[in-house]
Structure 1
Amino acid sequence: MCVTVDVKGEGTYEIDLATDGDSSPTYTDLLHEVDLSPHEVSVLVDGRPVPEDQPVDADHVTVLRLIKGG
């Protein structure tokens, strides 16, 4: 499954997520692919937030950083 991840203000990534037998990759797995923690971002699908533990079912997601800098 190929997913486009748009990290607002940082760039766009094309991620190829492999399904592993019985389990489907989650949005947390997707975030790890772009080196982000689910604790510092919100994942949006069609402009609506999705739980990070939900299986990925979209081919385009938007990621908003909640914490930046320090």
Structure 2
Amino acid sequence: MHVTVEVVGEETHDVSVDDDGTYADLVRAVDLSPHEVSVLVDGSPVPEDQPVEVDRVKVLRLIKGGAP
């Protein structure tokens, strides 16, 4: 399955996941940790262990780098 992953305020990635892939798998595929983001489907958060059932998600980073 191909999924477009938009990291809000950053980049958009096209990611392939297995048919039984989870939202955590998508997050890891774009080099982020499931512990530092929320995955949104149609504007609502989804559990990271839920199977992917859509072809487009938004990833909202909860933690971003600090001041220099």
Q: Is TM > 0.5 for Structure 1 vs Structure 2? A: yes
Aligned equivalents of 1:25, 1:17: Cα separation in 2: 5
Deviations, residues 21-64 of structure 1 (Å, cap 9, x unaligned): xxx10000111100010111000000000000000001000000
More helix by share: 2
1:57 to 53, 56, 61: 53
Unaligned runs of 5+ in 1: none
1:67 aligns with one of 60, 63, 67:
63
Which whole-Å CA distance do the structure 1 matches of 2:46 and 2:16 have between them?
Answer: 19
In percent, how many aligned pairs have the same letter?
A: 67
Q: Which runs of 5+ in 2 are unaligned?
A: none
What is the TM-score when the length of structure 1 is the normalising length? 0.90
* Partner of residue 18, structure 1: 18
* TM-score w.r.t. length of structure 2: 0.92
Moved over 2 A (4+): none
